[in-house]
């Protein structure tokens, strides 16, 4: 899973990236200090793996991972090449979802590219550049489809959808807000439009506001706008996240409690990412390792097995399955089998989040 961190210059993108990946990306108080996207791989926290490791006395834990791309700050005119914009926009096309960092703090020592703090203006600047870039791509696709339709009338249905998307973009609205059938949605997704990518708005607040963000009027503006797009919102403080990143697990938990927080901004961001992209994790366990595997919600057992190895999908026989909570309660797999809690699932079984699975296959 690849997530692209975007936003105007100096809103805290690289600070956030540094904190969540500990990758040490350059972060400076001037625009375009990031040109090529920095890439960081982050392990997804999953306490269920610790329980399984103790249960199986496993040698190691393997977490599933997310790739974060720190994409340089976009500015007004990016779609026309302003501020190396075309290069940065092409980087966004490579990611599955966008983490749009929005500045919701005042600090006279950190310059704002537009000279004032205004989350809605900042969001509009980025979204309009994505929309303009999409509109240019769509014009070319429509011209191509019109030519196809002269010889193949079936292309007229595709042309109708393209024209609807074009109308939405011309109204200055992101394509992700459109009401589409599942088939139409799949087609529009195949166009790889920037404004169709799912988005998480990441409100970057000051240290004083992180525990009382609901009272921050700038954050409220972001929440209200995100609601109009059915988008997710995560409130973080980039500076605090950097401090958390330097602590061990025990000190980290104590620090969060002092701040009145249940989890770090990174954990909130990961949970929102999974929800946004409709992802879940199933688990495998044994003496060698315990591991989490990420799949899309609704994946059938053979295809889930295919995430581990193509031979499992090809030669799938059955999946010996138990819900993690049941296994945790009963303490051992043998106890679970004795009580009939381990299920034998076939090819039509839809894997659930937290399923602990042993795949049986033959090739």
Both structure tokens of 95: 């990611």
Dihedrals phi, psi of 142, to nearest 5 degrees: -65, -45
CA 101, CA 315: separation in Å to the nearest integer? 45
CA 84, CA 75: separation in Å to the nearest integer? 9
User: Please, are residues 130 and 111 in contact by the beta-carbon 8 Å criterion?
Assistant: no
Tell me if 264 is assigned to a ligand binding site. no
Tell me if 7 is assigned to a ligand binding site. no
CA 15 from chain centre, in angstroms, equals 18
CA 306, CA 36: separation in Å to the nearest integer? 33
User: Please, are residues 313 and 85 in contact by the beta-carbon 8 Å criterion?
Assistant: no
Q: Note the helical H segments in 178-289.
A: 182-190, 217-229, 238-245, 249-259, 265-277
User: Please, are residues 342 and 321 in contact by the beta-carbon 8 Å criterion?
Assistant: yes
CA 265, CA 68: separation in Å to the nearest integer? 14
Longest dimension (CA), the chain: 68
Strand, coil or helix: what is 266?
helix
CA 221, CA 160: separation in Å to the nearest integer? 35
Both structure tokens of 247: 């602590």
N-terminal to C-terminal alpha carbon distance within the chain: 29
Tell me if 13 is assigned to a ligand binding site. yes
User: Please, are residues 358 and 304 in contact by the beta-carbon 8 Å criterion?
Assistant: no
CA dist list (Å): 155 to 121, 142, 185, 212: 39, 10, 17, 53
Tell me if 15 is assigned to a ligand binding site. yes
CA 23, CA 275: separation in Å to the nearest integer? 25
**Radius of gyration for the alpha carbons in the chain, expressed in angstroms and rounded:** 23
Strand, coil or helix: what is 263?
coil
Residue positions forming the annotated binding site for ATP: 10-15
Q: Which residues carry a binding-site annotation?
A: 10-15
């Amino acid at each position: 899973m690849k997530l692209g961190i975007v936003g105007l210059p100096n809103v805290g993108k690289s600070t956030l990236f540094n904190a969540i990946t500990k990758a040490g990306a350059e972060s400076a108080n001037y625009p375009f200090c990031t040109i090529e996207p920095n890439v960081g791989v982050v392990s997804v926290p999953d306490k269920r793996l610790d329980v399984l490791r103790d249960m199986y006395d496993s040698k190691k834990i393997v977490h599933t991972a997310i790739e974060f791309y720190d994409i340089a700050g976009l500015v007004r005119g990016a779609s026309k090449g302003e501020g190396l914009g075309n290069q940065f926009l092409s980087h966004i096309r490579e990611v599955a979802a966008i983490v749009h960092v929005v500045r919701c703090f005042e600090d006279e020592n950190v310059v704002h590219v537009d000279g004032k703090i205004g989350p809605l203006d900042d969001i509009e600047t980025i979204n309009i550049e994505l929309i303009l870039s999409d509109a240019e791509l769509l014009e070319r696709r429509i011209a191509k489809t019109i030519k196809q339709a002269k010889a193949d009338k079936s292309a007229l249905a595709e042309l109708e959808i393209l024209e609807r998307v074009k109308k939405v973009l011309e109204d200055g609205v992101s394509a992700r807000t459109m009401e589409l059938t599942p088939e139409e949605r799949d087609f529009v997704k195949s166009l790889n439009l920037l404004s169709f990518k799912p988005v998480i708005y990441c409100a970057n607040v000051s240290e004083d506001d992180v525990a009382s963000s609901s009272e921050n009027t700038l954050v409220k503006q972001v929440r209200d706008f995100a609601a109009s797009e059915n988008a997710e919102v995560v409130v973080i403080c980039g500076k605090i996240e950097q401090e958390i990143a330097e602590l061990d697990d025990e000190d980290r938990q104590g620090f969060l409690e002092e701040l009145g927080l249940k989890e770090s901004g990174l954990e909130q961001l990961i949970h929102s990412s999974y929800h946004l992209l409709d992802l879940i994790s199933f688990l495998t366990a044994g003496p060698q390792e315990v591991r989490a595997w990420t799949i899309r919600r609704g994946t059938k057992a053979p295809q889930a097995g295919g995430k581990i190895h193509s031979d499992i999908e090809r030669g799938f026989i059955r999946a010996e399955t138990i819900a993690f909570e049941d296994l945790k309660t009963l303490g051992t797999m043998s106890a679970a089998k004795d009580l009939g809690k381990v299920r034998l699932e076939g090819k039509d079984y839809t894997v659930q989040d937290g399923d602990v699975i042993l795949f049986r296959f033959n090739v």
